[in-house]
Chains A and B, each alone.
Chain A
Amino acid sequence: MEFFKTDKIYNFMGKAKLFMAISTILVLGSWALVVFKGLNFGIDFAGGTIVQVRYDKPVDIAAIRKALKKSEIFQDASVTKFGSDNEIVIRIKSSTKNLKKDIGDEARAALKGTGNFEIRRVDMVGPKVGGELREKGLMATVIAIIGILIYVSIRFEWRFALASVLALVHDVSIAMGAISLFNVPVNLDILAAILTILGYSLNDTIIVFDRIREGIVESVKLKDLNAVINESITKTLSRTTLTSLTTFFVVLTLYLFGGEIIKGFSFTLLVGIVVGTYSSIFIASPMLTILGFDLQKYRAKLAEKRKKQQEKERMRAMYEQGMV
């Protein structure tokens, strides 16, 4: 079974401007969303409390809201259904430092008389911890990007590194835009998803870049960088789509069957996989031309390097022969 015709080279670079324009709009739109609509920081980062309660029968949310109103702590609580009709979550912005009587106990008391229930989860994060986690999260993302920049610069060339990081910024921006648009609460697992997108989308990009590097060396008759890029993307197209498809399917099952708690995480990944695949095909490589990558100079540099390498090997061969 094959998806793509192998004898045809697709002209991706011919449409580069169009895709660049689309991406620019998407990225700017995402930034606008994040700035103006904002992110819905969950309790991990903003502090606050979540109480997840399961009843043995479908719940009457209005009755629960009414019961909670009587308690001082739960005055401003938001109550929503969670996954099924039997389950709810109560969210409040405050947290309690008291070990002897905490919000779980309060919730139990406040919900008395609303039916048979079981408190399945209480998450409380103090504001100080939330702030620290936020700092750490930002730090983690920055360090991951720097590490990747360094690695790619060493293995390829600085323009490849910059192009791949720009593609990453593109992917993460759009994922954040989607998170903001769909009001997904940003918690630690969303951070994990974002960092996974970093790794995944880079994975995709690197494989295309690897092929471009190979094309630069092997397809000597192609004098034009655009032609090399077109050929390389076409050759990796099968792999890119296949891997993205398998990963997409798997994450989709996670989204559909993984339960309510993992929903935000898998949603973010789904967006990331789609955007990451798109960017490694249509965005990362054109970036190389925009950044002024010079095919001839790079070939000259590689030839120089290979000559040195061959020289070294010859010397070694002579030396080894000498030993024998």
Chain B
Amino acid sequence: MRWTNWRFVLFVAVFIVGIALSVPSILGLKSGPKITLGLDLQGGLHMLLGVDTKKAIESKIKSIASSIKYFSEQNDILLEDLKIGDKKIEFTLLDKDDAPKIEEFIQKEPGIVIKKEGLHYTLTLTPKEIESIKEYAIKQAVDTIRNRLDQFGLAEPTVAKQGKDKILVELPGIKTPEQEQRVRKLIAKAAHLQLMAVDEARQARVDTMTPEEAAEYGDVILKDRHGRKYLVKEIPILDGSMIKDARVAFDQNNQPVINFTLNSEGARIFGDFTAKNVGKRLAVVLDNVIYSAPVIRERIGGGSGQISGGFTVAEAHDVAIALRSGALLAPVYMEEKRSIGPSLGADSIRQSLIALVSGFVLVVLFMIFYYGIAGIIADIALVANLFLIIGVMALFGATLTLPGMAGIVLTVGMAVDANVIINERIRELLREGVSIKKAIEQGYKNAMSAILDANITTLIAAVVLYAYGTGPIKGFAITMSIGILASMITAIIGTHGIYEALLPKIERSKNLKTWFGIKV
């Protein structure tokens, strides 16, 4: 073999690299680059979540209202009828001398529009602020969900923003329905902790009170886990955003409880409130359900509290994770869900492997039958092509999906195409009586433009498929694109190199029937 046969050298190199890169995936070795199996092949949970951003705006309004309330109490400013409505806060100032002070405080908060009629104030948010709250709510939801899933201890969870307002969650590790259910609950948990004051003056009448009547007093009616009703002040003393940490502990009866610690601001507010309200009840509210409503015996400094109330251990664990990772500013809901059992994934792999192998054997035999040794050469290119697809996918950590498997199977059918075109051209030239060396050279040259044009147009379709497809379809586009590129290398360069290497032999034997499957 001549050393100038760069095609052959390149082909052998590519072949070896292809094998080396695909061995870890094929044999399932621990180390080395490996193809990731898509959820449809290994089983798992795929969810597309929507975010209810309206709720984020409501809770922003609520938190502004609580800080106004706290500020006015601290500075002895008397407010009347502090109320929150649909995207607005209303209150009336009693003493007009306090106006500059409270206005200065409100203006510190960004994005608030103040409308003033006499001493009656109406606060609304600017459209820009509303937009940014929505955006933040989505970003925060992504972070929070990722945090929760990381702490849950699952292998390789994916949480990513998708499109403008959706969140993609992929969990390959989910195996049982129970596990799936628990994860879904953990994701959905608002984990909105609020400490609220019980309206002791009116609590006695709670059973006969309507929600409308309660609203008139600035109160809401909440139930505890046993269905008992409580009348609590609508504007919370503080909420979960001030939680620094939450841990599962056990009380004296060995029941799981959750201990939480507040940050310094939360601790200060909590301390001030408990100091002023000794003898009254404090409701610990999680996601609008009252867990406990203990009587305040003394000022609670240090900023730590406890949620007790009949948790199971797993439940307490999940609630603690949710509290630690923060509340969801806006609730999430399911837009799309695909859950695939592990056995189905295994079946899919098995079935597509059967299809791949039988298709492969058919094509290989057919090529040998039709073209003789030229067919064997095309088959060698095909094998190299397969290794190359797997190797390149492993190298880039691409995901192999069920349609991706179909893409590989399809590639097997189409990969020999370039060699078919070339072989037909060579046969044509041989029939015209051209010498073998010239027929091979010219055959490759003549076939080139057709191969390029045909493959580039297919590639255009594959790229579009990748750009517009989701999940499994993207996988199909990837395998098809890699397959097309790989087949161009193996079929155009590789087989040409092999012919060059074999040329002296072919010229000596002159048996065109064996070499190219034709009689001239």
Contact = CB atoms under 8 A, between A and B. Distances in A.
A155 B413 contact: no
A300 interface: no
A96 B334 contact: yes
A251 B339 CA distance: 27
Nearest to B331: A99
Nearest to A247: B413
A102 B370 contact: no
B203 to A, nearest CB: 31
Interface in B28-52: 48-50
Interface in B452-469: 453-462, 464-465, 467-469
A199 B410 contact: no
Contacts of A214: 446
Interface string A87-119: 000000001111110101100100000000011
Nearest to A188: B473
Interface residues of B, number: 80
Contact of B334 (A105, A126, A200, A259): A126
B366 interface: yes
Contacts of B347: 259
Contacts of B48: 129
A253 interface: yes
Interface stretch (B254-262, B354-362, B499-507): B354-362
Given A105-B177, A122-B338, A246 B416 contact: yes
A143 interface: yes
Contacts of A249: 359, 362-363, 366, 413
B457 A239 contact: no
Contacts of B431: 6
Interface stretch (A66-74, A132-140, A308-316): A132-140
Interface string A232-256: 0001101100110111111101101
B420 to A, nearest CB: 5
Contacts of B340: 120-121
A119 B358 contact: no
B311 interface: no
B336 A206 contact: no
B480 interface: yes
A121 B339 contact: yes
Contacts of A121: 338-341, 344
Contact of B517 (A2, A54, A200, A203): A2
Contact of A250 (B163, B370, B412, B462): B412
Contact of A257 (B339, B358, B417): B358
Given A96-B334, A254-B409, A243 B458 contact: no
B369 A147 contact: no
A250 B410 contact: yes
B424 A239 contact: yes
A144 B460 contact: yes
Interface magnitude class on chain A = 35 or more
Interface string A181-194: 00000001101100
Contact of A189 (B403, B409, B414, B455): B403
Interface in B385-419: 402-403, 406, 409-410, 412-414, 416-417
B348 A189 contact: no
Given A124-B336, A246-B366, A202 B458 contact: yes
- Enumerate the 8 nearest inter-chain pairs by beta-carbon distance, A residue then B residue, closest first: A247-B413, A250-B413, A199-B461, A250-B359, A99-B188, A140-B468, A259-B351, A199-B458
Interface of B: 48-50, 163, 177, 180-181, 184-185, 187-188, 332-341, 343-344, 347-348, 351-352, 354-355, 358-360, 362-363, 366-367, 369-371, 402-403, 406, 409-410, 412-414, 416-417, 420-421, 424, 428, 431, 446, 449-450, 453-462, 464-465, 467-470, 472-473, 476-477, 480, 517-518
Given A98-B334, A246-B366, 17 more contacts: A121-B338, A121-B344, A122-B337, A124-B334, A128-B335, A191-B469, A203-B458, A204-B454, A207-B450, A236-B424, A239-B424, A242-B370, A246-B367, A253-B359, A258-B406, A265-B406, A266-B406
